Amino acid sequence: MYANLNYKLKFKNISFHNQIMEAHSSFVRLFGNYPIVRVIDFMVTYREFDYPLTEIAENSGVAWSTIHTFFEDLVKKGIVVPTRQVGRAKMFKLNTKSKIVQELIKLDNKLIHELAEEMTSEKIVARS
């Protein structure tokens, strides 16, 4: 029962993330709308969970054939780590112990904070 609820919550979050991705996150806006940037953005945003490569590709808006061109490099650099195997699917998660990843998370948080401030100031100006 709890596993099903967890899956539904994860699916809801991912669907919401896809809507945001269409508008481009602040991370993607800064670094460009490139497949590797979209994958890292997705992994940073949902760092609490692990995902099979197919879901990472799908939820990042990256083709299966494209993700294979760079994903192994992310694993070799320690940005993403394998966590477990579910059936034939290998699961991956953002490596939050990596210094590089910690800096990416800090940067993402700063970008989100700046975007929130911009949106707040725009609403204040619009009301005036």
pLDDT tens, position by position, 76-125: 999 999 999 999 999 999 999 999 999 999 999 999 888 888 878 766 66
Q: Kindly indicate the confidence band of residue 64, based on its pLDDT and cuts at 50, 70 and 90.
A: very high
- The pLDDT > 90 percentage for the chain reads 64
Q: What is the mean pLDDT of residues 4-24?
A: 51
CB 47 within 8 A of CB 96: yes
CA-CA distances (angstroms) from residue 115 to 15, 39, 108? 21, 20, 11
Domain positions in the chain: 2-127
pLDDT of 107: 95
What the block records as the tokens of 1 is: 């029962």
pLDDT of 124: 66
CATH topology of domain 2-127: Arc Repressor Mutant, subunit A (1.10.10)
CB 51 within 8 A of CB 34: no
